[in-house]
Amino acid sequence: MRLTSKPFVVLGIDLAGSPRRPTGMCLLRGVQAQTSVAFSDEDILNTVQQAQPDLVPIDAPLSLPKGRKTISDRRGEHFRDCDLELRRRGIRFFPITLGPMRMLTTRGLALKAKIRAMGYRAIECYPGGAQDVWGLPRQHRDLAGLRAGLRRLGVRGLTNAATSDELDAATAALVGQWVLSGRGEMLGGEDGICIPSDRFLGKAKGER
């Protein structure tokens, strides 16, 4: 049984498609956040090992549409079940089979396998979708508003210098905490996308 005095440890990752671009990282221990950026897979995996998290939510596609063996496989479905559920709920997203999402998907799948091989649970997260559920602005529209909204939701330690990648990672980490505390849901099953459940919004919901 988990001791109630021990906070959940979640490592949120806003993964970049290329190791040449910054990947946002947020280590969330209870309500205290520590953000950073990483580039190589090795740096990301070292952070995972040091953090020993209860959950690793990753902002990147971590599964393929039905009937596809690789992201380049043109057979099978175009959308995953979780993608269709996002669309049904009116949440905007980029299809994983198009453009730069292919590179991100390839990196995400490989990273998920490595993290799970280390003994940690990695799940797919979509910060933009979570921000929509919470009523927060997405980072490309209002970075300061997103930062303020995350603070209203209880996240501590976010600095004004935190980048858009770091704030999306912080969003992913907070979603992970909601999942662990029973306030999240997995769209499309365990290999789908985790988002906060709107059944638990209440006063936690920020303002747009």
pLDDT of residue 112: 98
Instruction: List, for residues 17-50, the tens digit of each pLDDT value.
Output: 999 999 999 999 999 999 999 999 999 999 999 9
pLDDT one-digit tens code per residue, 51-102: 999 999 999 999 999 888 888 877 778 899 999 999 999 999 988 888 889 9
Is 101 within 8 Å of 61 (Cβ atoms)? yes
Q: What is the pLDDT of residues 137-179, one digit of tens each?
A: 999 999 999 999 999 999 999 999 999 999 999 999 999 999 9
pLDDT of 205 > 50? The answer is no
Query: If pLDDT is split at 50, 70 and 90, which confidence band does 202 have?
Result: low
Q: What is the pTM of this model?
A: 0.92
Mean pLDDT (the chain, rounded): 92
For domain 9-204, which CATH number applies: 3.30.420, 1.10.357, 1.10.40, 1.20.1070? 3.30.420
